[in-house]
Amino acid sequence: MAKRALLVGINYPGTKAELKGCINDVNRMYKSLIDRYAFVEEDIVVLIDTDPKFQQPTGVNIRRELSNLVGSAEPGDYLFFHYSGHGTRLPAETGDDDDTGYDECIVPCDMNLITDQDFRELVLKVPDGCVMTIVSDSCHSGGLIDSAKEQIGESTKLNREESNSESSSGGFRSFLKGKVKDAFQSRGIDIPDEILHRRHHSSSYKPEEVEEQENTDGPVKNRSLPLSTLIEMLQEKTGKEDVDVGNIRPTLYHLFGKDASPKFKKFMKILFKRFQEGRLNEGGSGHGGIMGLISGIAQEVLKFKDEDEEEEEEEEEVQSETEAYAGTKKNLPNNGVLISGCQSDQTSADANSPQGAYGACSNAIQELIAESDGQVTNRDLVLNVRKLLAKQGFTQKPGLYCTDKHVDYPFIC
């Protein structure tokens, strides 16, 4: 039996996206793994962006280390991945049947996004008899393992629809507010929920969408990378001003090529096919929507032939356009446990105190680990973290995503 871990902390120093507490989260989790869970230093890989002596948490480095973590696993092993950094979400493509209606993503230091479907495909490779626990203290992290069963949380469409149907008038208002917010998000504009929500039901919550706010511990910033900021940063990286929400995926493919998200590469294969067939901007038949927004940069990318395409023969061929959008649903991710810092439409707090900066969820987890000496189940951890965060004045609600049999498994090991 082996215990292996990958810890990733990203503070994005010197950028529009700068955070303060992510590296501290990783340092505290590193110490907990050794002191409480009997991990050894040689089996813990750390990626941070504030010290050149460490591997940098770029998209390709995170993917490689995740692949190594899972690729070396055997039945009986315990795998652990902790991520503290920005999260973002991209509006779903036409035909995308995601549980939340978005691609939830983590944001590496180079903006080479890693999607919920990427995590799902990773967890599908975890061998039976082995469990991989993922803690993502980032915004929009609910549902980060695409199609995993939601045990504690309010992220999936089904739960949101049930909540909205509590009363016909309230449900319709919530539906309209959701549509308005989605419309602005699809243009890269973040609208704080407090502007849209004037009344709160007992089952609702108020996401932390403001840039700075106060709680008992000091200034709080959220770990969300709004589409507008992501687009600005991509414009800087590419030198192109016509990057917008309609061509984020092609832009990322153009920047990172074979190192881009597998989901984006599948998406680009469909665009290449449409371009070759002269039907790139086809409408109707379920193929309109965001496809019609693709502008000059996307047209340029579609003509770009990946020189390394022949080296990717091992990649599974795209069987359908639906698969390129939403991924194959024939298997469920049974060997993964996700503890999310918040729901898919919430933000996670990056807070400051006299003792230093921290992620609100990561800090609460550490408090409960210390209180229980590490002996706590996944269910009890998430429920008690929710209570502790509420007591501390934070509005985010962590979630638990896993199969029924893993709900009452010990946290980590």
Return the pLDDT at 269: 79
Rounded to an integer, the average pLDDT of 74-97 is 86
- Residue found by looking up tokens 């599974």 in the block: 316
Kindly tell me if the per-residue pLDDT of 156 is higher than 90: no
Rounded to an integer, the average pLDDT of 250-271 is 88
Kindly tell me if the per-residue pLDDT of 186 is higher than 50: no
Residue ranges of domains in the chain:
3-155+332-406, 240-326
407 pLDDT band, cuts 50/70/90, is very high
How far apart CA 115 and CA 224 sit, in angstroms, is 15
Half-sphere exposure of 163 (CA within 13 A, CB side): 17
pLDDT tens by residue, 57-72: 999 999 999 999 999 9
Return the pLDDT at 313: 42
pLDDT, greater one: 27 or 179: 27
Return the pLDDT at 16: 93
Kindly tell me if the per-residue pLDDT of 301 is higher than 70: no
Return the pLDDT at 8: 98
Q: Is 139 a catalytic residue?
A: yes
CB 336 within 8 A of CB 126: yes
Catalytic residue among 82, 86, 254, 287: 86
Kindly tell me if the per-residue pLDDT of 399 is higher than 70: yes
Lowest mean pLDDT among 79-93, 122-136, 247-261, 298-312: 298-312
pLDDT tens by residue, 12-21: 999 999 999 9
CB 141 within 8 A of CB 223: no
Q: Hey, which residues does 103 pair with through a beta bridge?
A: 90
Q: Which amino acid is at 30?
A: Y
The 3-state DSSP class for residue 214 equals: strand
Q: CA Rg, the chain, in Å?
A: 21
Sheet holding 213-215, edge to edge: 213-215, 218-222, 349-351, 358-359
Half-sphere exposure of 100 (CA within 13 A, CB side): 28
321 pLDDT band, cuts 50/70/90, is low
Q: Percentage of residues in the chain with pLDDT exceeding 90?
A: 58
205 pLDDT band, cuts 50/70/90, is very low
Return the pLDDT at 126: 97
284 pLDDT band, cuts 50/70/90, is very low
CB 74 within 8 A of CB 67: no
The 3-state DSSP class for residue 53 equals: coil
Return the pLDDT at 357: 96
Return the pLDDT at 302: 53
Rounded to an integer, the average pLDDT of 185-191 is 46
Rounded to an integer, the average pLDDT of 296-322 is 50
How far apart CA 38 and CA 3 sit, in angstroms, is 8
Torsions phi, psi for 11 (to 5 deg):
-100, -10
The whole model's pTM is what? 0.81
Nearest to 229 by CA among 21, 58, 18, 59: 18
pLDDT tens by residue, 334-392: 999 999 999 999 999 999 888 899 999 999 999 999 999 999 999 999 999 999 999 99
Q: Is 406 a catalytic residue?
A: no
Q: Percentage of residues in the chain with pLDDT exceeding 70?
A: 69
Return the pLDDT at 311: 47
Fold of 3-155+332-406: Rossmann fold (3.40.50)
Mean pLDDT of the chain: 79
Catalytic residue among 22, 105, 139, 402: 139
Kindly tell me if the per-residue pLDDT of 7 is higher than 60: yes
Kindly tell me if the per-residue pLDDT of 158 is higher than 70: no
Return the pLDDT at 265: 87
Lowest mean pLDDT among 50-59, 75-84, 251-260, 275-284: 275-284
Return the pLDDT at 333: 85
Return the pLDDT at 270: 76
Handedness of CA 308, 312, 317, 320 (dihedral sign): negative
Lowest mean pLDDT among 160-164, 209-213, 358-362, 373-377: 209-213
pLDDT, greater one: 174 or 377: 377
pLDDT, greater one: 93 or 163: 93
Rounded to an integer, the average pLDDT of 278-303 is 48
CA distances from 256 to 27, 306, 308 (A): 29, 11, 12
Nearest to 207 by CA among 219, 195, 189: 195
Rounded to an integer, the average pLDDT of 298-306 is 52
